[in-house]
Amino acid sequence: MADLRERWKRDRLTAAVYDLGVQSYPVAWAGGRALWGYEINRLWKSVGELAGTPDDSVVLDLPCGGGTSFRALSRGRRLRYVAADLSETMLDRARAQAAGRSLGQVRFVRTDAGSLPFADASFDLVTSFNGLHVFADPAGAVAEFARVLRPGGTLRGTAVVTGERRRGDLLVRALRLTGTFGPAGSADDLESWLSPHFDDVEIETAGSVAGFSARRITP
């Protein structure tokens, strides 16, 4: 899936249009319902849970996109927060968001989810909102998330899944052809990626989107 990675590395227009749509509530609400049968408030609720992350936690947000999750952060929080993405365009937009919100605790890293430049057990929390379906190797990305999480740490996110709605499946196929989506997978596939590395796995589908959370298995 080299072409997929290169697309997200270099395609500034796709990244900018996607981020504008997600950051605009009316667009995200209408697009979520029309394209995926999904209420965008579900995403914002999950993102909002970041506000309850204990101080001094180490958090990885990948893909951070244009800083979608920053709305749940507040100035002065003692979080060590790493915002990572493959797209330099997304990182530029996220940097602007962080500066506008005075979030000095955010560090930015450009990386591929399949090969993270972090040591084992580096993070207390990994979030991956709207990410797995655009990764070239979602199972490999989940394994990397598990590697960098400390035992007992949490993975939380959302992903487009197949097998829930015909319209959603057709759209996934079309986006694969454009080089925008990766192989994606069903909710069962998502569980199979998580279960070797995590317990307390919870997956809830709404339309063609699955919200998930899981706890890193403690040896």
Query: Tell me: the pLDDT tens digits for 192-201?
Result: 999 999 999 9
For the chain, which ranges sit under pLDDT 50? none
Q: State the pTM of this model.
A: 0.94
Identify the pLDDT of residue 135.
Answer: 96
Identify the pLDDT of residue 105.
Answer: 87
Percent of the chain with pLDDT over 90: 83
Tokens of 103: 């979030």
CA distance 16 to 20: 6
| Residue 75: Cβ-neighbour burial (10 angstroms; 0-12, 13-18, 19+) | exposed
The letter for the amino acid at 128 is S
Identify the pLDDT of residue 17.
Answer: 87
Domain 2-216 annotated CATH 3.40.50.150: yes
Q: Would you say the C-alpha torsion 122, 89, 74, 47 has a positive or negative sign?
A: negative
